[in-house]
Amino acid sequence: MAKSILHIDASARRATSVTRDLSKDVVARLNGDVVTRDLFDALPHIDESWIGANFTPEADRTDAQKELLALSDKLIAEVKAADVLVIGVPVYNFGIPTNLKAWVDMICRAGITFRYTEAGPEGLLTGKRAILVAATGGTPVGSEIDFATNYMRHVLGFIGITDVQLVAADRLSVDAEGSIAEAKAQVAELAA
């Protein structure tokens, strides 16, 4: 049975993006049915009206509130339908770009993708795999100043996705050729 893959691109660069190129290589290696969500055209950020709609019980939501949550519902449906998420994670100023953070805010919804229990939060999107494809100019991936990949691992685990792998082309400003070659080797080692 073919895998369902959700491919998230978050780079502000279209033509020269390392994460876009490497994440395409990952998707090709996985060989499944692909849905691509390009965050180049930024998602709206959540605001007071969105939060109010989100915390209104579904049965009590007005048509306007339902409309405010429609994009979030669609993004969550994409995640739920996927067996594997391939997420391009460009590291900007030690963190993720705002368009990727807006996506995270839209998919992390209590009662839908996670819930709170007496034992703490419980992710509801279990049984999925995620592959983060990171690129940095100078930040070593996994270091104490990498607030991007560590954050994405945490967020994915929070919603129940604990099988998270990382392909990293870090420190591109130091050794771009070597870093990209190492990342391509990591892609080649990924289990399809």
11 assigned binding-site residue: yes
| Residue 1 scores a pLDDT above 70 | no
pLDDT at residue 42 in the model: 84
Q: What is the pLDDT of residues 87-105, one digit of tens each?
A: 999 999 999 999 999 999 9
Question: In order of start, what are the domains of the chain with their CATH numbers?
Answer: 4-189 (3.40.50.360)
Name the E strands within the chain: 4-9, 33-38, 84-90, 114-117, 120-123, 129-135, 163-169
Residues 6+ apart with CB under 8 A from 172: 18, 135, 136, 137, 138, 179, 180
